[in-house]
Structure 1
């Protein structure tokens, strides 16, 4: 990408940041709704009349309905403001530039009016307050009399008029360049005169009332142009909105809603916009904190820095983190920043492992989704600052343990590949083993620190479960890696390898399954007694289905397949030494020499272990596709024949694409 393209992309990102600030400001005030606190709201006192009669209930009702109507009005205005900001956010760049030009011209009109009003007020105050005889009635008189002293007085009206004249001239030049109204030569020439008219009048001996109202008249011409643009563009605005609706409807009907969301997500560059928004938001708060940390010394009245005495760098970082997740938009921005860092953490470990798998690059996306779900599930934005910081730290800890699981998913297939392919590259083995050592040492260190610094809680139990699960998974991977290495250096076929691999994986998957059940009950305790919520309940249902029910069903299916295969193999005859000598052939499944073999009904010889792996997939002979074992029921035989003939090709493909299945993989 060229430098010009990068600059244009950066400008487009910056143009989409202000609408997020607008939405964020509305969310800070809770969309105008009253924020309930833990304190008890005092009951309104009844208003009694002078004679001590009954209270005036109508007055209470009127106040209640007025407050309700005002709250509802504020809520509707905030909702309209949020929707307008989001509509601006999704505009195309050319429309976005037009909107900003219009808003800039409107802002210039208000700034010009405000500066004119302020300058005229100060000039009139100086004229009224000053009782000295050397002050003239007007600046024009000082100019004609060459009264240099009054003209150069820094606190005099002449300097104020000069400053306001320069400001209005700059505003007029900018307004002429950006306004979207008709650019008739006469109007363009009148605009600077209109902006600077109050400054000219302040120099003349005009009546105070005329000078006081001059800012209003000076703003009429630019305001008319702004209003004209607004009314003349109403049809274009409606047309753009309708065209966007038509485009979205046609895109959804042709490609689906998910494709539309993905396309718009890429077009708007949402992650980058959110990151820039969050960084600018935190930078703004940091500047305010630094400004607040300078105060007057009560003894000598000098400006001294109290940053080191009042607030350390750690407390400042704490404050920035707390305010960086106080609204939904701020949480989205923080999520994007976390995704950015997690992405490069994943790239760093991929660089260590010398791998570049595309599937492993989704670590940033997975981390972002997990962090955002944790934020919603724990109600991060609704907590007070102290509790929010504690909850944020706990979410970070849970996120990092999940990151360790993802790193294990990267290193595990590499370990299996290195051990099974007889890779002689020693440095690749060392790199993979080094990452495994990190995945064991770091969780242990984290558990020691957390259990020494915190009391037992549901959060600590969850972190401990995740950390121990990582350790178990890494140990299982290392044990299987060691078995494959031993098998690689053996000169004879290792028939018990499949059993050992199955037992080790079954042990690890059983531990993971038990931890899954433990985490479900831990979450149920949190839901019932600590912090409930619909999101937590939904996540528990998802966890119960995918991590408990589906895993248990898959594990039981593998166990039954294995037991059935063992029974089938045991029903076949064992080949004698004489038969193997007369055959003098290799196993047709693994192409290894046969020192022991099983004889099928079709008189074919295979390793017992290889044949058992084959039976995990289908019940026919690998060579002649005859039934490998005898079935007593003819009905079952017919059904089995029909099903096996229908799925024969699919099962062969499965055998080729799932090599782990041949190793007796347990619960996935």
Structure 2
């Protein structure tokens, strides 16, 4: 991407940040809803202090309905403002620039009016002071004609004030000429600067005080007329743009679906980057305010302060920034985007260590963002007071770190299996993978030691401990299987029991994970009932119970039954004798390894028992001649037998595709 393209992309991102600040300000006041209890206190005061008034009049009803109407009106205005800001946020860049140009022209008019009013007030005060001292008031025009530079440049005199206001108004007039979207007639373009500087010109002349007092209002008539003309002339175009956007969205959804529309708009608006810039600007603004509050011009104590106090001050400032950085939903979204950014590069760092570049592993940023946002909503982060919010935020970060450990295990586990199964001689790749595994064991243990030494037992601590122990168990299981594969790689003979050992180890690890899933479900149920309930937590518990408990148990039981059935089928076949194997002197047709033991099928073909068992996971026919491998019970007809076997084969193929990681783990597939 060229430098020009990067600059344009940055400008487009910056243009979409202000609407988020508008929404954020409305959310800070809770959309106008009573959060401090002021409106509710009216009712309490009425019931205690005005009982006699209420009993003899309709004072209570009028106050109640007035408070309700004002609350509803504020809520409606805030919702309308949020909706307008979101509509501006999703506009195309060319329409967004038009909106900003119009808002700039309106802002210039109001700034011009405010500066004119301020200047007129100062001039009136100067005239009043001169009248109180019985001094003749000389107009600025007289001082200019008399070349009285001393009076003109007097700081307390009106001359310098009028000159400053004239300069400001002329600058605003030039900006308005280039910004406004109205018709650019030559006569009007020449009159506009005169309209802006008219109060300054009137202040120079000896006009009556009433004329000077009303001059700012008349000075804004022409620019306000231009702005209003633009608004009325563009009303139809605005409605047309909104309607065309609605039509485009509806057609896109009907053709490609809602998810495709969301994904397309997400990429077009570059929402993660916009949220990131919004949060950084928001936190930077708060940091500047904190620094200004803590800065003392009179003393140099900031230089004399000790290092410990400086560190404490920085820690307090960081705490304040974190607390204010998640006080609204928009702020939480911005923090989520920043966390996603850092987690993405953490994933890239570990991928660099492991020398891998899998596309699926690069989703760590998105997964972390979703997890953090769900945790924020589930724990009601924005509704807590600052102290509790900071504690809850730290706990959410701790849970997020444990989730990152699980994600890192998902990156390193297939690499371990690949290195051991492929007989990879690259020593440094083995060392890198084992180093990451050591980190995934040492870090959770250190975290658990610190948390249990610093905090008392709680549901949150139990959840973090469960996640940490689970990742330790998963890493140990991966290392055990990795060791088995390495041993098998250096064996000269076929290791028939390897598959059983791998199965038992994975079954143990996944059973531990299943038990932790049940434990976390009951832990969440306790939190839901006795600590902090909520609809989001209840929904997440239902999802956890269905996918992580019920589906895993059902699929794991299916895998177990399929394996047991395959073992029974293999045991029903004849075992080849040593004499038969010596006479055959062949290799297994499935694994191409030498046969020291074998099973004989009904069609007199020889295979390793473990290889044949793996083959039975796929289908029940001989790999060479496709004959049925075992005798069908109940003497069914061949057609019905073939149909049943075909159905069984399809069912087993379906199970193989949907086989979870409960008992067998990722590496078996």
TM-score (norm 1): 0.95
Relative to structure 1, is the Cα distance of residues 400 and 280 closer, same or farther in structure 2, using a 3 angstrom cutoff? same
CA drift of 1:46 comes to 5.3
Match of 1:150? 151
Match of 1:443? 444
Relative to structure 1, is the Cα distance of residues 550 and 221 closer, same or farther in structure 2, using a 3 angstrom cutoff? same
CA drift of 1:546 comes to 0.8
Relative to structure 1, is the Cα distance of residues 461 and 40 closer, same or farther in structure 2, using a 3 angstrom cutoff? farther
Q: Alpha-carbon deviations, 1:467-514, whole Å to 9, x = none?
A: 000000000000000000000000000011011000100000010000
Match of 1:61? 61
Relative to structure 1, is the Cα distance of residues 249 and 635 closer, same or farther in structure 2, using a 3 angstrom cutoff? farther
Further displaced range: 615-624 or 275-284: 615-624
In the alignment, structure 1 residue 488 sits paired with structure 2 residue 489: yes
In the alignment, structure 1 residue 258 sits paired with structure 2 residue 259: yes
Match of 1:356? 357
Match of 2:140? 139
Q: Distance in 2 between matches of 1:133 and 1:657?
A: 98
CA drift of 1:642 comes to 1.5
1:368-387 superposed matches below 5 A: 368-387=369-388
Q: Alpha-carbon deviations, 1:608-648, whole Å to 9, x = none?
A: 11111111222111111111111212449755522544686
Match of 2:114? 114
In the alignment, structure 1 residue 559 sits paired with structure 2 residue 541: no
Further displaced range: 94-103 or 606-615: 606-615
In the alignment, structure 1 residue 80 sits paired with structure 2 residue 88: no
Q: Distance in 2 between matches of 1:636 and 1:233?
A: 81
Further displaced range: 306-315 or 170-179: 306-315
Q: Distance in 2 between matches of 1:551 and 1:228?
A: 66
Q: Secondary structure at the match of 2:46?
A: coil
Q: Distance in 1 between matches of 2:399 and 2:457?
A: 16
1:595-606 superposed matches below 5 A: 595-606=596-607
CA drift of 1:657 comes to 12
1:480-559 superposed matches below 5 A: 480-559=481-560
Q: Distance in 1 between matches of 2:632 and 2:187?
A: 102
Q: Distance in 1 between matches of 2:198 and 2:236?
A: 34
Q: Distance in 1 between matches of 2:37 and 2:196?
A: 49
Q: Secondary structure at the match of 1:312?
A: helix
**Preserved contact between residue 554 and residue 667 of structure 1 (Cα < 8 Å):** no
Q: Secondary structure at the match of 1:43?
A: helix
1:94-493 superposed matches below 5 A: 94-130=94-130, 131-132=132-133, 136-295=137-296, 312-493=313-494
Relative to structure 1, is the Cα distance of residues 655 and 223 closer, same or farther in structure 2, using a 3 angstrom cutoff? closer
Further displaced range: 632-641 or 404-413: 632-641
Q: Secondary structure at the match of 1:455?
A: coil
Match of 2:589? 588
**Preserved contact between residue 480 and residue 501 of structure 1 (Cα < 8 Å):** yes
Q: Alpha-carbon deviations, 1:419-474, whole Å to 9, x = none?
A: 00000000000000000000000000000000000000000000000000000000
Q: Distance in 2 between matches of 1:367 and 1:293?
A: 35
CA drift of 1:89 comes to 0.2
Q: Distance in 1 between matches of 2:666 and 2:436?
A: 24
TM-score (norm 2): 0.94
Q: Alpha-carbon deviations, 1:53-92, whole Å to 9, x = none?
A: 8723411100100110011000000000000000000000
**Preserved contact between residue 322 and residue 385 of structure 1 (Cα < 8 Å):** yes
Relative to structure 1, is the Cα distance of residues 640 and 478 closer, same or farther in structure 2, using a 3 angstrom cutoff? farther
Q: Secondary structure at the match of 2:523?
A: helix
Q: Distance in 1 between matches of 2:447 and 2:32?
A: 43
Which structure 2 segments of 5+ residues have no match? none
Q: Alpha-carbon deviations, 1:179-212, whole Å to 9, x = none?
A: 0001000000000000000000111111001000
Which structure 1 segments of 5+ residues have no match? none
Q: Distance in 1 between matches of 2:359 and 2:71?
A: 51
Q: Alpha-carbon deviations, 1:271-309, whole Å to 9, x = none?
A: 00000000000000001111111357xxxx668659966
CA drift of 1:224 comes to 0.1
Q: Secondary structure at the match of 2:45?
A: coil
Relative to structure 1, is the Cα distance of residues 556 and 648 closer, same or farther in structure 2, using a 3 angstrom cutoff? closer
Relative to structure 1, is the Cα distance of residues 336 and 46 closer, same or farther in structure 2, using a 3 angstrom cutoff? closer
**Preserved contact between residue 53 and residue 59 of structure 2 (Cα < 8 Å):** no
CA drift of 1:144 comes to 2.3
**Preserved contact between residue 343 and residue 364 of structure 1 (Cα < 8 Å):** yes
Further displaced range: 634-643 or 345-354: 634-643
Q: Distance in 2 between matches of 1:603 and 1:474?
A: 43
Match of 1:22? 22
Q: Distance in 2 between matches of 1:600 and 1:287?
A: 80
Q: Secondary structure at the match of 2:423?
A: coil
Q: Distance in 1 between matches of 2:148 and 2:301?
A: 42
**Preserved contact between residue 377 and residue 536 of structure 2 (Cα < 8 Å):** yes
In the alignment, structure 1 residue 609 sits paired with structure 2 residue 610: yes
